[in-house]
Chains A and B, each alone.
Chain A
Amino acid sequence: MRLLVARAGEDRFAFESLQLVTILPWPLETALPWGSLHALAGLTAEEPEPRAVVGRSSGGTPFALRVPGPLGEEDAGDVLPVPPLLGAPRWVRGFILTAEGGPALLLDLPSLGDAVLARTPPSPLPEAPT
């Protein structure tokens, strides 16, 4: 499985490349509902070198997730299932073991899109950094 990997703080988050629509520069030049990987990860600082991972919700609506750069790509073997005692949200699809040995979260973009759409009404263009 080919993965796109973003690092948020000390943790790594992976997306299956097949679920990606595209990657866009930030700020967006197209009005899309969007969320922030740092906000999901509980980080208060804005993403450094931000860019937008664009996916589709389970209903097919495009959305963007602002992620920090630079992004990496790697191949992963098995996806380890979410432990039943974790209580993770639906958009946590599973885990992969990275080359460093630790687990990285594999996010499910359609479910993540559903969550972004539920939290944010269709938004205007994000504010350009000042």
Chain B
Amino acid sequence: MTDAPPSAAGPSPSPAASRTTPCLVFRAAGHWYAVPALQVVNISAPTRPVRVPGTPPFVRGVIASAGKVVPVLALALLLGESSRAGEVTRLVLLQGGGRMAACEVAEVLGIEDVSDAPGAPSDVPAATGGAHRLGERLVTRLEVDRLMDLVAVAVRGRA
């Protein structure tokens, strides 16, 4: 599957391979992910989320942020990359498509330029940018809107 942006007609000297997007790189459970920095609202110390009965296992609960109630997601559980949520040292609040969610994160590497070119194929459902190598790390680039869509479909499927 490719998600290359539409290009102008005719040969283009500036393929996506030469472009990068500043991304927040973080680890959840044993996997590294990158999300466009513009869609990161904030990074905070974790607070215990208020559990909401009857929600899927990947929904850890809710927190209050700037007067709103925001779901807290265990990313590794949501993406099926681990059966355990793993350690949590930070919450990364993401916004996409008018929706907000906080992701439990084990480690934040920082902001890195990640190529817009398609990376190596990835099984992660919300990964539209594929897997990219950053130094010694293999980082899966996530597209936040699709991540939110994935959550919406998953919770709707349980209704």
> Is B154 an interface residue when CB atoms closer than 8 A count as contact?
yes
Interface pair B156/A87, CB less than 8 Å apart: yes
Interface pair B62/A85, CB less than 8 Å apart: no
Q: Which residues of A contact B133 (CB under 8 A)?
A: none
Known: A80-B64, A83-B101, A102-B64. 15 other contacts (CB 8 A): A11-B50, A80-B67, A83-B70, A85-B71, A85-B148, A85-B155, A86-B71, A87-B154, A87-B159, A88-B54, A92-B53, A95-B62, A95-B64, A101-B64, A102-B63
| Alpha-carbon distance A83/B99, docked complex (angstroms) | 8
Contact of B155 (CB < 8 Å), options: A81, A87, A97, A101: A87
> Is B1 an interface residue when CB atoms closer than 8 A count as contact?
no
Contact of A80 (CB < 8 Å), options: B51, B69, B156: B69
Contact of B151 (CB < 8 Å), options: A40, A85, A89, A97: A85
A97-B64 CB under 8 A given contacts A85-B155, A86-B59 = yes
| Alpha-carbon distance A88/B70, docked complex (angstroms) | 12
| Alpha-carbon distance A37/B60, docked complex (angstroms) | 19
Interface pair A83/B71, CB less than 8 Å apart: yes
The binding surface of chain A is classed by DSSP as loop
> Is A54 an interface residue when CB atoms closer than 8 A count as contact?
no
Residue of B nearest to A91 (CB): B54
- Of residues 66 to 125 in A, which have CB atoms within 8 Å of B's CB atoms? 80-89, 92, 95, 97, 101-105
The binding surface of chain B is classed by DSSP as mixed
> Is A1 an interface residue when CB atoms closer than 8 A count as contact?
no
Q: Which residues of B contact A103 (CB under 8 A)?
A: 50, 62-64, 69
Chain A contacts to B: CB under 8 angstroms? 10-12, 40-42, 80-89, 92, 95, 97, 101-105
Interface pair A83/B159, CB less than 8 Å apart: no
Residue of B nearest to A82 (CB): B69
Contact of B51 (CB < 8 Å), options: A11, A83, A89: A11
Nearest 5 interchain pairs by C-beta: A87-B155, A89-B54, A95-B69, A85-B151, A80-B69
Interface pair A87/B158, CB less than 8 Å apart: yes
Interface pair B54/A84, CB less than 8 Å apart: no
Interface pair B51/A87, CB less than 8 Å apart: no
| Alpha-carbon distance A87/B73, docked complex (angstroms) | 12
List 25 interface pairs A-B (beta carbons < 8 Å), by A numbering.
A12-B50, A40-B54, A41-B51, A41-B53, A80-B67, A82-B69, A83-B70, A83-B71, A83-B99, A85-B99, A85-B151, A85-B152, A85-B155, A86-B59, A86-B62, A86-B155, A87-B56, A87-B59, A95-B62, A95-B69, A97-B64, A101-B64, A102-B64, A103-B50, A103-B62
